Amino acid sequence: MKDHSQWISLTDVLAAKIRISPFIVRTPLHRHLALENFLGTETYVKHENHQKLGAFKVRGGVNMLSQMSREDLDRGIATASSGNHGQSIAYAASIFGAKCYVAVPQGANPGKVQSMRNMGATVIEHGPHFGVANDYIIELSKEKGYRYIHAVKDTLLYQGVGTYTLEILEDLPDVDTIIVPVGGGSGASSTAIVAKSVNPKIEIIGVQGDSAPAVYDSWNTGSPKSARMDSIAEGLATDTAYEPALTMLRDLLDDFILVSDEEMEDAVLMYLEHTRNLVEHAGAASLAAGIKIKEKLQGKKVVLIASGGNLSMAHLNRALERYKD
């Protein structure tokens, strides 16, 4: 494995675990026999949908702000997000006493937006997607003097996010394969760093929506690419790849799968019907990918990352309408 310690190391993640543990939940790793009927092999789910704020991102936000100077916190913290990252920064800002400003795309998940506001963040709806919202908040931060955080480029986030993989390895040391959703790539990168630092033979498979394939395309070509972004899964909705995640993903992912919105929606319903868990589309992508490549998974102990459970009522209703049809 190449050295990526300038961004994230196992030592960094172990330190982050101590730092963030008072503020987050140690989420369960459950074996689901019902899901094994779909995958045909031993199947576990890392339930980050049970995390505070309903998603894994909170681990990164708390880790990052816990290491900021009082001077930076007093400037105000600003970021852009499609939802879960913004919640994590808003939560961390409320813990460490900082004002928080989050730019989100117009039409962002209303539950996530309200959650940010409930924690005291000022939410600014701007532009059709994350990239436009991010450009806006960068300029506003320069103008106002806010401490800006990029959802993918700031690797202190990765160090906190990597703690869920430590928990997987504590609970299932002999895991063979971990399937992890890829939005910007912080979750998949940190998963791969931690898992392969402990056991290089652990297979890491990334999954992205085929209606927002920018990181997948970039992984295949080796350079950052932009792509259309029409996916229903806002947690995977990025229109371009970012460093250093792309470098780490190219070095560390064993495979990368695309799934359709319909496959993710079917997986949302599988979780709901067979495990009684509400999982958002991005979080259900790993199950959709596992089903798609189930022949390759036979005889392996597989962990699916249910990265979040913040499904909007509109998206839930849409899925249930399809189910009735």
pLDDT at 83 over 90: no
Asked whether the beta carbons of 310 and 54 are under 8 A apart, the reply is yes
**Among all chains, which residue has been given the structure tokens 């074996």?**
31
pLDDT at 312 over 80: yes
Tens digits of residue pLDDT in 190-208: 999 999 999 999 999 999 9
Average pLDDT for residues 118-128, to the nearest whole number? 95
Mean pLDDT of the chain: 94
From the CB of residue 226, how many other CB atoms can be counted at a distance below 10 Å? 13
Q: pLDDT-derived band of residue 52, with 50, 70 and 90 as boundaries?
A: very high
Per-residue b or e along 49-75, where b marks 16 or more CB atoms closer than 10 Å to that residue's CB: bbbebbbbbbbbbbbbbbebeeeebeb
Q: What is the pLDDT of residue 325?
A: 60
pLDDT at 65 over 80: yes
Greater pLDDT, 147 or 225: 147
Beta bridge partner(s), residue 173:
none
pLDDT at 311 over 90: no
From the CB of residue 82, how many other CB atoms can be counted at a distance below 10 Å? 26
Q: What single string gives the DSSP state of each residue in 102-170?
A: EEE-TT--HHHHHHHHHTT-EEEE-SSSHHHHHHHHHHHHHHHT-EEE-TTT-THHHHHHTHHHHHHHH
Tens digits of residue pLDDT in 7-49: 999 999 999 999 999 999 999 999 999 999 999 999 999 999 9
Tens digits of residue pLDDT in 207-264: 999 998 999 999 999 888 888 877 787 777 778 888 999 999 999 999 999 999 999 9
Q: What is the pLDDT of residue 270?
A: 96
Q: What is the pLDDT of residue 226?
A: 85
Q: What is the pLDDT of residue 235?
A: 73
Q: What is the pLDDT of residue 315?
A: 85
- Two structure tokens written together for 64: 């990052």
Tens digits of residue pLDDT in 153-178: 999 999 999 999 999 999 999 999 99
pLDDT at 323 over 80: no
Size (the chain), residues: 325
- How many angstroms separate the Cα of 85 from the Cα of each of 33, 65, 274, 306? 31, 13, 28, 15
pLDDT at 317 over 70: yes
Average pLDDT for residues 136-140, to the nearest whole number? 97
- Two structure tokens written together for 324: 């009735």
Beta bridge partner(s), residue 29:
46
Q: Domains along the chain?
A: 10-56+156-324 (3.40.50.1100), 58-149 (3.40.50.1100)
Q: What is the pLDDT of residue 118?
A: 96
Q: What single string gives the DSSP state of each residue in 247-314?
A: HHHHHH-SEEEEE-HHHHHHHHHHHHHHH-----HHHHHHHHHHHHTHHHHTTS-EEEEE-B----HH
Calpha distance 203→266 (Å, rounded): 25
